[in-house]
């Protein structure tokens, strides 16, 4: 059975709902449909939506924007159909490829950083599935601009990664660039660290095997 039995996504969806996120944002964060999220969280007590900064009124999309959105939605569905349900081996290889691109290579600890909730959710599921993890040794470092809601960001990432807030290290609060009107990542960027040389070396062995087997152009 592949990892996409949706059990992980269901648990994360329920945690994010308790944290106050609306259905649409949970669906986007986990890469699933809004209808699936609605079904999974129907009995979860909703604390209310996360407050967003007020913005000016938006115009209705024009014909070009509607065509663009239609194409995006069509290709998203096509992508889901082409990938389908990952087998055990496919899940392993996908996680190895993800770590090869985004993970730390220096010996000593497993480190993975990203601002995309889907990447973090995938990585956490992969790490826990294929390696014996001591949950108490997981640490999360949050990079968040000053002026953004630190408590909300910690609650979001804690629910998504299933790592207690008590295991978050001191966050880095960057000074925002005044030339940028809106923060690009309202919940910041997260780095996950697991200090275990054996696990890191095991992952790097898989990365080496994957890259050694790559087909290079002649």
Q: Write out the DSSP string of 178-207.
A: TT-SS-S-TT-EEEEEE--HHHHHHHHHHH
CB contact at 8 A, 39 and 26: no
CA end-to-end span of the chain: 37
What pLDDT score does 84 carry? 81
Burial of 50 (0-12, 13-18, 19+ CB in 10 A): middle
What pLDDT score does 102 carry? 92
CB contact at 8 A, 142 and 190: yes
CB contact at 8 A, 173 and 142: no
CB contact at 8 A, 121 and 98: no
Average pLDDT per block of 10 residues along the chain, 218 residues long: 58 79 81 83 70 58 82 83 86 95 94 92 94 96 91 91 95 79 76 96 96 67
Kindly list the structural domains of the chain, giving each domain's residue range(s) and its CATH number in brackets, ordered by start: 1-46+64-85 (no CATH), 87-218 (3.30.1330)
What pLDDT score does 82 carry? 84
Q: Which helix (H) or strand (E) holds 144?
A: strand 138-145
Mean pLDDT for the chain overall: 84
125: closest CA among 20, 10, 39, 204?
A: 10
What pLDDT score does 133 carry? 96
What pLDDT score does 25 carry? 81
What pLDDT score does 40 carry? 87
CB contact at 8 A, 16 and 158: no
Enumerate the β-bridge partners of residue 191: 113, 141
- What is the tens place of the pLDDT at every residue in 20-47? 788 888 887 787 788 888 888 888 876 5
Two tokens, residue 156? 């979001």
**Rounded-to-integer distance, Cα 12 and Cα 29, Å:** 10
Judge if pTM exceeds 0.75.
Answer: no
What pLDDT score does 182 carry? 61
What pLDDT score does 56 carry? 57
């Amino acid at each position: 059975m592949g990892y996409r039995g949706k059990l992980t996504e269901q648990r994360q969806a329920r945690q994010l709902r308790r944290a106050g996120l609306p259905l649409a944002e949970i669906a986007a964060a986990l890469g699933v449909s809004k209808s699936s999220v609605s079904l999974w969280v129907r009995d979860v007590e909703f604390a209310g939506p996360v407050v967003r900064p007020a913005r000016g009124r938006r115009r209705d999309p024009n014909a070009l924007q509607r065509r663009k959105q239609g194409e995006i939605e069509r290709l998203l569905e096509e992508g889901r159909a082409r990938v389908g349900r990952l087998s055990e081996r496919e899940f392993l290889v996908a996680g190895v490829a993800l770590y090869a691109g985004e993970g730390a290579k220096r010996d000593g600890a497993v480190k993975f950083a990203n601002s995309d909730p889907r990447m973090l959710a995938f990585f956490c599921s992969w790490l826990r599935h294929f390696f014996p993890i001591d949950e108490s040794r997981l640490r999360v470092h949050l990079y968040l601009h000053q002026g953004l809601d630190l408590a909300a960001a910690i609650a979001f990432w804690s629910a998504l990664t299933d790592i207690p807030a008590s295991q978050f290290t001191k966050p880095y609060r960057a000074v925002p660039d005044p030339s940028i009107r809106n923060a690009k990542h309202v919940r910041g960027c997260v780095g996950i660290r697991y200090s275990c040389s054996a696990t890191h070396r095991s992952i790097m062995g898989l990365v080496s095997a994957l890259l050694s087997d790559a087909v290079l152009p002649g």
